[in-house]
Structure formats: structure tokens, C-alpha cells
Amino acid sequence: MNFTTQFDRELVSSVPLYRHYPQLLPLIGPEFGHFGKRLLLIGESHYLPHLDESGREITIHHHDESWYQANENLLDTTQKKWLNTRENAGSGENQKYTSRAYSIYRNIEYAIKESGFKPSDTSNMFNYVAYANYFLRPARTGVSLQVTGKDSKVSYDTFRSLAQILEVDYLYFVSKLAWRSFMYMNEDRDRLDQAQVRVFPHPASSWWNRTSPAYSIEPGKPLTGKQFFIAALQRDQIFRTI
């Protein structure tokens, strides 16, 4: 796992939830922004298993107030691993991951490689971007988070701080649920300075490999979600080809 911790002190001091659950800190690649633009990739949410290590049902994340008022001391080792952004997204080696649940990361990596970006080290393409899940309360396994007003506010405030601290050029949402929540809260578009926002289908969904008129660069030429993502990387000149 490769990541930089150079922003951690400011992130932890600016975002209270990172103090409560440091596992949720974003993965920031050691080469973030060094080969072009500063790209923050944004997924949906983490998950927690149904049962804890002692076999009891995990309910701390079922209600927003209980989750945001608690902290990592109420989590066992397995739960902490499920929430660890850096340990999960950064665990791939040569685009291979140990869990099928990590196909989102593998598919993003392949797309970045196919965009024409060819750095000397391609073992993990997350070395060159930042990644975080938008919702900071985990969902129940197998279903999307039932987003509350509290979830929306905490997530939006956190990502405002995150984008500003990292001086992000582009926000690429790979979750439409997260993007909708963000756009609803982001009525004043100048709040994130000049960061440009894009939205794509989830890389683990069927739409990643299916064409849709919604994924078009040229009229009448629908692309797959993956092709649309690659075209955006190229059009936005996220990476300098080397």
C-alpha cells in the first residue's frame, strides 16, 4: 500500500469525523498531482458486515445519530478493516485484488492505464490520484445507504474541506447517488473554487461496460461507462503522457 500522509494533520484538524474514524481518511497517492491535474475520485460508501467478531449483530451504523456520535473505540478489528479506505483501495498489485468486492478499484485502474498514461510504475494507478467514499456512514452489506439529511450535510461539509485542502482540480464521482447528494447541497457552485465536477457510472455496475446516450462525447455516438471515463481523462488532460 502506497499513500502519502502529508495532508493528514490538516485533514484531521479540519474534519471532526476523521478524528473519530481515522480509517475513513482518503487514499492520497504518493504521486498525486505530480503528473498533471489533481484528481479526486469519489465512490459511494463503505459497508459493515452483519455480525461482529463475537457473532452479535452490528447496528451502530443503522442510525445516523448513533454513528456520528460514536468513534472507532466501538469497532472491532474486522470492522475497522472494512472501513479502511487506504487499506482497501491501495491494496491492489498490478491490478489484482484479493476480493471481488474491490472490482471498482481494479476497473478504475484499467481505465487509467488505457487512457494513455504510462508512468514507469503501473503497479497501482491509485498512486497518482486521491480516492475517498463520499458518504461517511457505512451502508448495510449489499444495499445502498439510505441517505438522511445528516448524512448529506456531514458528507458535503467534509468534501468541501477535502477538496480545498488537497487543492483539487477535478472531482470524478463514480456513484450517481453520491453525485446527486453533492449537487443538491452545492447550490453555491463557487464554494469549491475552480474544481470541475464529472459523474460516471459505478465501475462495478453493468453500465461500466454498456453503452448509453448519457455517455456521449459526440452526438449520436454513445459510449460505455468505461469509454466515457477514459474520454474524460483525456479531454481534461488529467495526466501528462510520458
CATH number for the domain including 160? 3.40.470.10
Q: Is position 113 within any domain?
A: yes
Segment 199-204 mean pLDDT: 96
Q: Is position 206 within any domain?
A: yes
Residue 195 banded pLDDT, cuts 50, 70, 90: confident
| 175 contact partners, CB below 8 Å, separation of at least 6 | 42, 43, 44, 134, 202
Look over the chain and give the mean of its residue pLDDT values, rounded to a whole number. Answer: 93
Q: What percent of the chain has pLDDT over 90?
A: 88
Q: Is position 209 within any domain?
A: yes
At residue 186, the pLDDT reads: 86
Residue 191 banded pLDDT, cuts 50, 70, 90: low
At 62 the three-state DSSP class reads coil
Question: What pTM value is reported for the model?
Answer: 0.94
Nearest-angstrom CA–CA distance, 145 and 43: 12
Nearest-angstrom CA–CA distance, 73 and 90: 24
Residue 138 banded pLDDT, cuts 50, 70, 90: very high
Segment 134-144 mean pLDDT: 93
Nearest-angstrom CA–CA distance, 210 and 139: 26
How many domains, the chain? 1
Q: Is position 28 within any domain?
A: yes
Residue found under cell 491501495: 90
Range of the domain at 45: 8-235
